[in-house]
Amino acid sequence: TFLLNPEVKLPEDSIAAVKTKGLVGEKYVSITPGASERMIQPGGHIRETQPPFDLSDAIGRLIYGSPGK
């Protein structure tokens, strides 16, 4: 959970994702603004999220193949 400055206006369809700087770097939250004309209200939530990239899962898929293959 994090809070934004009340002066920051984000469209309701904005997307939040946890990303990593480099392969094993520090994590940060990336927010991609949406195109909606309606803004998230104070105290509101970003409803669209993307799961964080998991390096160990990616390596496992590379070595052992994707499920269902």
Q: Is 35 left (phi over 0), alpha (psi -120 to 50) or beta?
A: alpha
Domain boundaries, the chain: 15-64
Residue 11 bridge partners (DSSP): 39
Tens digits of residue pLDDT in 4-57 = 888 889 999 999 998 888 766 788 899 999 999 999 998 888 988 887 777 777
Mean pLDDT, rounded, for 58-67: 77
pLDDT at site 67: 60
Q: 60 in the Ramachandran plot: left (φ > 0), alpha (ψ -120 to 50) or beta?
A: alpha
Binned at pLDDT 50, 70 and 90, residue 69 comes out as very low
